[in-house]
C-alpha cells in the first residue's frame, strides 16, 4: 500500500482576495449598487453573495476580463482613487455638482496607466500610502454622507449596543 502524502492545508485566502472582499463589502455598506472585479475571484464573489443573502440589499458583484471596456463604455462619472491624485476636498463640490452616478476605480494592486487617462477625476484621500478600502470609505462618505447608516432589511440585523454583540435573525 502506498500512502498518499497528506493533503496540503487549505490555501489561505490571498491578500488581494481579502482586499477585494473588503472593498466590495465597504462599497455595499456605503451605498453602492454594484462592483466589478477585474480579476475573476470566486472566493470573493461567494463571500460577498453570502453577506448580501444574510444582510440584505440589492448589491451585485460581477467579474470582468475587460475592465477598460467597462470603463470606456460607461456613461457614469469615473472617479479614480489614487494617492497620486488631487486632494478630494478640492474636488468634492465639483463632483457633487455634476449630479451624475459615479463609478469609482480603486486598485488593490497598481492600476494600469489607462485608468488615469479615462477617469474624469483622479482623486487622493491624502497623498500618503495607506489603503484602497480607507480611500473608498472616505470618498463615499464625503459624496454620500451617512449612507453607511442605510437600513438593508436583511434576514440578519444588528441591534446597536454600547456593551455587547446582539443580532436578530428573522429568517
- Interface contacts to a copy of itself, rule CB under 8 A: 12-15, 17-19, 22-23, 25-26, 28-30, 51, 55, 82-87, 89, 116-117, 121-122, 124-131, 133-138, 141, 146, 148-150, 152, 157-158, 160-167
Cα 61 from Cα 45, distance rounded (Å): 6
Minimum Å distance from CB 135 to a copy of itself? 8
Cα 171 from Cα 169, distance rounded (Å): 6
**The dihedral sign for the CA sequence 142, 145, 151, 157:** positive
Dihedral-angle region of residue 56 (phi above 0 means left; psi in -120 to 50 means alpha; beta otherwise) = left
Nearer to a copy of itself, 146 or 170 (CB): 146
Nearer to a copy of itself, 64 or 150 (CB): 150
Nearer to a copy of itself, 18 or 102 (CB): 18
Nearer to a copy of itself, 57 or 67 (CB): 57
Minimum Å distance from CB 100 to a copy of itself? 18
Minimum Å distance from CB 106 to a copy of itself? 12
SS3 call for 86: strand
Nearer to a copy of itself, 66 or 158 (CB): 158
Minimum Å distance from CB 136 to a copy of itself? 7
Minimum Å distance from CB 60 to a copy of itself? 16
**How wide is the angle at C-alpha 103 spanned by C-alphas 29 and 151, nearest 5°?**
20
Cα 60 from Cα 33, distance rounded (Å): 6
Place of cell 442605510: 150
Q: 58, 99 in Cβ contact below 8 A?
A: no
Amino acid at each position: 500500500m502506498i500512502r498518499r502524502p497528506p493533503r496540503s492545508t487549505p490555501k489561505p485566502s490571498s491578500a488581494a482576495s481579502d482586499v477585494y472582499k473588503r472593498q466590495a463589502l465597504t462599497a455595499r455598506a456605503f451605498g453602492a449598487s454594484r462592483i466589478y472585479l477585474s480579476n475573476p475571484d470566486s472566493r470573493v464573489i461567494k463571500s460577498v453573495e453570502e453577506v448580501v443573502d444574510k444582510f440584505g440589499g440589492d448589491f451585485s458583484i460581477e467579474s470582468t476580463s475587460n475592465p477598460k471596456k467597462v470603463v470606456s463604455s460607461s456613461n457614469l462619472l469615473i472617479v479614480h482613487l489614487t494617492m497620486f491624485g488631487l486632494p478630494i476636498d478640492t474636488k468634492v463640490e465639483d463632483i457633487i455638482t455634476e449630479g451624475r452616478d459615479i463609478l469609482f476605480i480603486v486598485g488593490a494592486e497598481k492600476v494600469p496607466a489607462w485608468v488615469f487617462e479615462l477617469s474624469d477625476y483622479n482623486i487622493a484621500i491624502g497623498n500618503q500610502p495607506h489603503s484602497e478600502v480607507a480611500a473608498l470609505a472616505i470618498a463615499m462618505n464625503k459624496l454620500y454622507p451617512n449612507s453607511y447608516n442605510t437600513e438593508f432589511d436583511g434576514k440578519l440585523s444588528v441591534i446597536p449596543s454600547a456593551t455587547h454583540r446582539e443580532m436578530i435573525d428573522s429568517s
